[in-house]
Amino acid sequence: MGSIKYSPGQTCPKCSSSNIEYNREFTGWTSNSHQTWTKGRHLERKRNYVTTGFCKACGYTWVVDSELSQDSRKHANTKAFNSITDSKSNTSTYSNSNSSSDKSEEDRFYSFLIGILFIILIIWLISHLFTSCVSTIEKNRFTYTYTLNKENVVYVTNPSGEYIVGKLDKVDGINTIINEKWGEDRNKLLNDKNGGTAVVFFAHDRVRQGSTRSASDGGCIEVFKDDASANRRYVKLKLLGFLNGKVLKIGTVIIRTSNELSTYEQKKLINDICLKLLEG
Protein backbone atom coordinates (compact mmCIF):
# COMPACT_ATOMS: atom_id res chain seq x y z
CA MET A 1 0.00 0.00 0.00
CA GLY A 2 1.27 3.50 -0.83
CA SER A 3 0.05 6.94 0.18
CA ILE A 4 -0.79 9.68 -2.31
CA LYS A 5 -0.31 13.27 -1.41
CA TYR A 6 -3.26 15.59 -1.04
CA SER A 7 -4.22 17.56 -4.14
CA PRO A 8 -5.68 21.07 -3.54
CA GLY A 9 -9.40 21.35 -4.24
CA GLN A 10 -10.19 17.77 -3.23
CA THR A 11 -12.57 17.35 -0.31
CA CYS A 12 -14.39 14.58 1.52
CA PRO A 13 -17.66 13.72 -0.30
CA LYS A 14 -19.38 13.28 3.12
CA CYS A 15 -18.28 16.20 5.32
CA SER A 16 -16.46 18.34 2.72
CA SER A 17 -13.34 18.40 4.85
CA SER A 18 -10.08 18.92 3.08
CA ASN A 19 -8.17 16.91 5.71
CA ILE A 20 -7.97 13.75 3.59
CA GLU A 21 -5.37 11.37 2.29
CA TYR A 22 -5.31 8.87 -0.58
CA ASN A 23 -3.98 5.36 -0.57
CA ARG A 24 -3.05 3.22 -3.59
CA GLU A 25 -3.68 -0.45 -2.85
CA PHE A 26 -2.67 -3.60 -4.75
CA THR A 27 -5.73 -5.67 -5.67
CA GLY A 28 -4.16 -8.69 -7.40
CA TRP A 29 -2.87 -10.03 -10.71
CA THR A 30 -4.59 -10.09 -14.06
CA SER A 31 -6.94 -13.00 -14.85
CA ASN A 32 -5.37 -16.24 -16.17
CA SER A 33 -7.27 -15.83 -19.43
CA HIS A 34 -5.24 -12.68 -20.08
CA GLN A 35 -1.83 -14.00 -19.08
CA THR A 36 0.86 -14.65 -21.66
CA TRP A 37 2.24 -18.20 -21.79
CA THR A 38 5.07 -19.68 -23.86
CA LYS A 39 5.88 -23.40 -23.67
CA GLY A 40 4.09 -23.68 -20.34
CA ARG A 41 6.22 -20.89 -18.73
CA HIS A 42 4.54 -17.81 -17.39
CA LEU A 43 6.18 -14.77 -19.00
CA GLU A 44 4.23 -11.75 -17.79
CA ARG A 45 1.64 -10.81 -15.20
CA LYS A 46 0.09 -7.42 -14.67
CA ARG A 47 -0.63 -5.80 -11.27
CA ASN A 48 -3.99 -4.18 -10.57
CA TYR A 49 -4.39 -1.23 -8.15
CA VAL A 50 -7.24 0.76 -6.63
CA THR A 51 -7.07 4.26 -5.12
CA THR A 52 -9.09 4.98 -1.97
CA GLY A 53 -9.69 8.20 -0.08
CA PHE A 54 -9.72 8.54 3.75
CA CYS A 55 -11.14 11.55 5.62
CA LYS A 56 -9.23 12.20 8.88
CA ALA A 57 -12.02 14.46 10.11
CA CYS A 58 -14.99 12.03 9.90
CA GLY A 59 -13.27 8.73 9.12
CA TYR A 60 -15.18 8.21 5.82
CA THR A 61 -13.46 6.00 3.21
CA TRP A 62 -14.33 5.84 -0.48
CA VAL A 63 -12.93 4.48 -3.74
CA VAL A 64 -11.47 7.18 -5.93
CA ASP A 65 -10.17 5.22 -8.95
CA SER A 66 -9.29 1.71 -10.07
CA GLU A 67 -5.98 1.30 -11.85
CA LEU A 68 -6.20 -1.87 -13.93
CA SER A 69 -3.50 -3.22 -16.14
CA GLN A 70 -3.80 -2.43 -19.84
CA ASP A 71 -4.88 -6.00 -20.70
CA SER A 72 -7.40 -6.10 -17.83
CA ARG A 73 -8.78 -2.69 -18.75
CA LYS A 74 -9.03 -3.76 -22.40
CA HIS A 75 -10.75 -6.99 -21.37
CA ALA A 76 -13.15 -5.10 -19.09
CA ASN A 77 -13.96 -2.64 -21.88
CA THR A 78 -14.52 -5.51 -24.32
CA LYS A 79 -16.85 -7.28 -21.88
CA ALA A 80 -18.74 -4.04 -21.28
CA PHE A 81 -19.02 -3.43 -25.04
CA ASN A 82 -20.16 -7.00 -25.65
CA SER A 83 -22.68 -6.72 -22.85
CA ILE A 84 -24.10 -3.50 -24.31
CA THR A 85 -24.09 -4.99 -27.81
CA ASP A 86 -25.83 -8.14 -26.61
CA SER A 87 -28.38 -6.06 -24.78
CA LYS A 88 -29.05 -3.98 -27.88
CA SER A 89 -29.12 -7.08 -30.02
CA ASN A 90 -31.61 -8.76 -27.71
CA THR A 91 -33.73 -5.62 -27.62
CA SER A 92 -33.53 -5.35 -31.42
CA THR A 93 -34.33 -9.04 -31.84
CA TYR A 94 -37.31 -8.75 -29.52
CA SER A 95 -38.46 -5.62 -31.30
CA ASN A 96 -38.00 -7.27 -34.71
CA SER A 97 -39.80 -10.35 -33.44
CA ASN A 98 -42.74 -8.28 -32.26
CA SER A 99 -42.67 -6.29 -35.50
CA SER A 100 -42.54 -9.49 -37.57
CA SER A 101 -45.36 -10.96 -35.54
CA ASP A 102 -47.50 -7.84 -36.03
CA LYS A 103 -46.63 -7.78 -39.74
CA SER A 104 -47.41 -11.48 -40.08
CA GLU A 105 -50.83 -10.99 -38.51
CA GLU A 106 -51.47 -8.01 -40.78
CA ASP A 107 -50.42 -10.02 -43.85
CA ARG A 108 -52.71 -12.88 -42.85
CA PHE A 109 -55.59 -10.45 -42.47
CA TYR A 110 -55.04 -8.91 -45.89
CA SER A 111 -54.59 -12.36 -47.46
CA PHE A 112 -57.88 -13.46 -45.89
CA LEU A 113 -59.60 -10.30 -47.12
CA ILE A 114 -58.24 -10.77 -50.66
CA GLY A 115 -59.36 -14.40 -50.60
CA ILE A 116 -62.90 -13.39 -49.64
CA LEU A 117 -63.02 -10.74 -52.38
CA PHE A 118 -61.70 -13.27 -54.92
CA ILE A 119 -64.39 -15.80 -53.96
CA ILE A 120 -67.08 -13.11 -54.25
CA LEU A 121 -65.74 -12.15 -57.68
CA ILE A 122 -65.76 -15.77 -58.87
CA ILE A 123 -69.34 -16.25 -57.62
CA TRP A 124 -70.41 -13.04 -59.40
CA LEU A 125 -68.74 -14.10 -62.66
CA ILE A 126 -70.34 -17.56 -62.55
CA SER A 127 -73.74 -16.03 -61.80
CA HIS A 128 -73.35 -13.45 -64.56
CA LEU A 129 -72.20 -16.09 -67.07
CA PHE A 130 -75.07 -18.39 -66.14
CA THR A 131 -77.61 -15.58 -66.46
CA SER A 132 -76.13 -14.53 -69.78
CA CYS A 133 -76.21 -18.09 -71.13
CA VAL A 134 -79.81 -18.59 -70.03
CA SER A 135 -80.76 -15.25 -71.57
CA THR A 136 -79.03 -16.16 -74.83
CA ILE A 137 -80.67 -19.58 -74.93
CA GLU A 138 -84.09 -18.08 -74.29
CA LYS A 139 -83.47 -15.40 -76.88
CA ASN A 140 -82.31 -17.85 -79.56
CA ARG A 141 -84.92 -20.48 -78.79
CA PHE A 142 -87.10 -21.01 -81.81
CA THR A 143 -89.38 -23.89 -82.81
CA TYR A 144 -89.71 -24.68 -86.48
CA THR A 145 -93.38 -24.81 -87.54
CA TYR A 146 -93.08 -26.27 -91.03
CA THR A 147 -93.98 -29.93 -91.60
CA LEU A 148 -92.39 -32.17 -94.25
CA ASN A 149 -94.46 -35.15 -95.39
CA LYS A 150 -94.89 -37.38 -98.42
CA GLU A 151 -97.47 -35.00 -99.91
CA ASN A 152 -95.34 -31.83 -99.92
CA VAL A 153 -91.84 -33.34 -100.22
CA VAL A 154 -92.24 -33.15 -104.00
CA TYR A 155 -92.03 -29.34 -103.80
CA VAL A 156 -88.49 -29.53 -102.37
CA THR A 157 -87.23 -32.35 -104.59
CA ASN A 158 -85.17 -30.75 -107.35
CA PRO A 159 -87.41 -27.71 -107.87
CA SER A 160 -86.54 -25.21 -110.60
CA GLY A 161 -84.72 -21.94 -110.02
CA GLU A 162 -87.81 -19.99 -111.10
CA TYR A 163 -89.91 -21.78 -108.47
CA ILE A 164 -87.36 -20.84 -105.77
CA VAL A 165 -87.29 -17.20 -106.91
CA GLY A 166 -91.08 -16.97 -106.87
CA LYS A 167 -91.29 -18.31 -103.31
CA LEU A 168 -88.44 -16.15 -101.96
CA ASP A 169 -90.16 -13.07 -103.32
CA LYS A 170 -92.99 -13.70 -100.82
CA VAL A 171 -90.73 -13.95 -97.73
CA ASP A 172 -90.59 -10.87 -95.49
CA GLY A 173 -87.18 -9.18 -95.27
CA ILE A 174 -85.78 -10.49 -98.57
CA ASN A 175 -85.20 -7.59 -100.96
CA THR A 176 -82.89 -8.77 -103.76
CA ILE A 177 -82.90 -12.16 -105.50
CA ILE A 178 -80.37 -13.44 -108.04
CA ASN A 179 -80.83 -16.72 -109.91
CA GLU A 180 -77.39 -17.90 -111.04
CA LYS A 181 -76.97 -19.15 -114.61
CA TRP A 182 -75.74 -22.62 -115.47
CA GLY A 183 -71.95 -22.88 -115.21
CA GLU A 184 -71.53 -19.28 -113.95
CA ASP A 185 -72.13 -19.67 -110.22
CA ARG A 186 -69.18 -18.77 -108.01
CA ASN A 187 -69.19 -22.11 -106.13
CA LYS A 188 -69.16 -24.18 -109.34
CA LEU A 189 -72.17 -26.24 -108.27
CA LEU A 190 -74.19 -25.93 -111.47
CA ASN A 191 -72.64 -28.79 -113.39
CA ASP A 192 -73.04 -32.52 -113.84
CA LYS A 193 -70.08 -33.30 -111.55
CA ASN A 194 -71.50 -31.63 -108.42
CA GLY A 195 -75.14 -32.26 -109.28
CA GLY A 196 -76.39 -28.72 -108.76
CA THR A 197 -79.44 -27.63 -110.75
CA ALA A 198 -80.16 -24.18 -109.25
CA VAL A 199 -78.37 -21.63 -107.06
CA VAL A 200 -80.32 -18.59 -105.87
CA PHE A 201 -78.75 -15.82 -103.75
CA PHE A 202 -80.83 -13.31 -101.82
CA ALA A 203 -80.21 -10.21 -99.71
CA HIS A 204 -81.91 -9.37 -96.42
CA ASP A 205 -83.02 -6.05 -94.95
CA ARG A 206 -81.12 -6.63 -91.69
CA VAL A 207 -77.78 -7.34 -93.38
CA ARG A 208 -75.44 -4.74 -94.85
CA GLN A 209 -75.52 -5.20 -98.59
CA GLY A 210 -72.48 -6.41 -100.52
CA SER A 211 -72.29 -8.10 -103.89
CA THR A 212 -75.67 -9.93 -103.45
CA ARG A 213 -73.90 -12.95 -104.90
CA SER A 214 -72.87 -14.22 -101.51
CA ALA A 215 -74.72 -16.01 -98.76
CA SER A 216 -73.31 -13.50 -96.27
CA ASP A 217 -75.62 -10.79 -97.74
CA GLY A 218 -78.70 -12.65 -96.58
CA GLY A 219 -78.60 -16.24 -97.69
CA CYS A 220 -78.63 -18.75 -100.49
CA ILE A 221 -80.69 -21.69 -101.73
CA GLU A 222 -78.91 -24.53 -103.51
CA VAL A 223 -80.88 -27.20 -105.38
CA PHE A 224 -79.48 -30.62 -106.37
CA LYS A 225 -80.68 -33.27 -108.74
CA ASP A 226 -80.68 -36.08 -106.16
CA ASP A 227 -80.40 -36.71 -102.44
CA ALA A 228 -76.79 -38.03 -102.64
CA SER A 229 -75.51 -34.82 -104.23
CA ALA A 230 -77.39 -32.74 -101.68
CA ASN A 231 -75.95 -34.79 -98.80
CA ARG A 232 -72.36 -34.32 -100.04
CA ARG A 233 -72.82 -30.56 -100.16
CA TYR A 234 -74.58 -30.48 -96.78
CA VAL A 235 -71.76 -32.38 -95.05
CA LYS A 236 -69.18 -30.03 -96.54
CA LEU A 237 -71.08 -26.95 -95.37
CA LYS A 238 -71.49 -28.37 -91.85
CA LEU A 239 -67.75 -29.02 -91.61
CA LEU A 240 -67.19 -25.35 -92.45
CA GLY A 241 -69.91 -24.25 -90.06
CA PHE A 242 -67.67 -21.70 -88.30
CA LEU A 243 -67.46 -19.79 -91.63
CA ASN A 244 -71.17 -19.96 -92.44
CA GLY A 245 -74.47 -19.22 -90.86
CA LYS A 246 -77.23 -21.76 -90.33
CA VAL A 247 -77.60 -24.60 -92.85
CA LEU A 248 -80.70 -26.74 -93.36
CA LYS A 249 -81.30 -29.57 -95.82
CA ILE A 250 -84.89 -30.26 -96.79
CA GLY A 251 -85.47 -32.70 -99.62
CA THR A 252 -82.75 -31.99 -102.20
CA VAL A 253 -82.74 -28.30 -101.26
CA ILE A 254 -80.13 -26.71 -99.01
CA ILE A 255 -81.03 -23.41 -97.32
CA ARG A 256 -78.19 -21.21 -96.04
CA THR A 257 -78.47 -17.98 -94.05
CA SER A 258 -76.03 -15.17 -93.30
CA ASN A 259 -74.08 -15.34 -90.04
CA GLU A 260 -74.58 -11.57 -89.74
CA LEU A 261 -78.12 -12.33 -88.62
CA SER A 262 -78.73 -13.43 -85.04
CA THR A 263 -79.39 -17.10 -84.33
CA TYR A 264 -83.06 -16.37 -83.77
CA GLU A 265 -83.32 -14.37 -87.00
CA GLN A 266 -81.63 -17.11 -89.02
CA LYS A 267 -83.93 -19.81 -87.67
CA LYS A 268 -87.02 -17.67 -88.29
CA LEU A 269 -85.87 -16.90 -91.85
CA ILE A 270 -85.30 -20.60 -92.60
CA ASN A 271 -88.70 -21.46 -91.20
CA ASP A 272 -90.39 -18.76 -93.31
CA ILE A 273 -88.63 -20.00 -96.47
CA CYS A 274 -89.57 -23.64 -95.78
CA LEU A 275 -93.23 -22.69 -95.23
CA LYS A 276 -93.30 -20.92 -98.61
CA LEU A 277 -91.52 -23.74 -100.46
CA LEU A 278 -93.85 -26.39 -99.05
CA GLU A 279 -97.00 -24.49 -100.01
CA GLY A 280 -96.71 -25.70 -103.59
Q: What is the pLDDT of residues 77-113, one digit of tens each?
A: 454 445 445 555 555 555 555 556 666 888 888 888 9
Q: Are residues 238 and 270 in the same domain?
A: yes
Q: What is the pLDDT of residues 129-158, one digit of tens each?
A: 887 776 666 666 788 899 999 999 999 999
Flag whether 223 is in a domain.
Answer: yes
Q: Are residues 265 and 183 in the same domain?
A: yes
* CA-to-CA dists, residue 215 to 98, 110, 170, 188, 203, angstroms: 74, 57, 19, 14, 8
> Average of pLDDT values for 18-43?
62
Q: Are residues 120 and 40 in the same domain?
A: no
Q: Are residues 214 and 99 in the same domain?
A: no
* pLDDT surpassing 90 at residue 174: yes
Of residues 73 and 175, more confidently modeled: 175
Flag whether 15 is in a domain.
Answer: yes
* pLDDT surpassing 60 at residue 39: no
Q: Are residues 80 and 29 in the same domain?
A: no
Flag whether 148 is in a domain.
Answer: no
Domain boundary among 141, 161, 186: 141
Q: Are residues 162 and 130 in the same domain?
A: no
**Which residue range is the domain that position 84 belongs to?**
72-141
Overall number of domains in the chain: 3
Flag whether 147 is in a domain.
Answer: no
Which pLDDT band, with edges at 50, 70 and 90, does 66 fall under? low
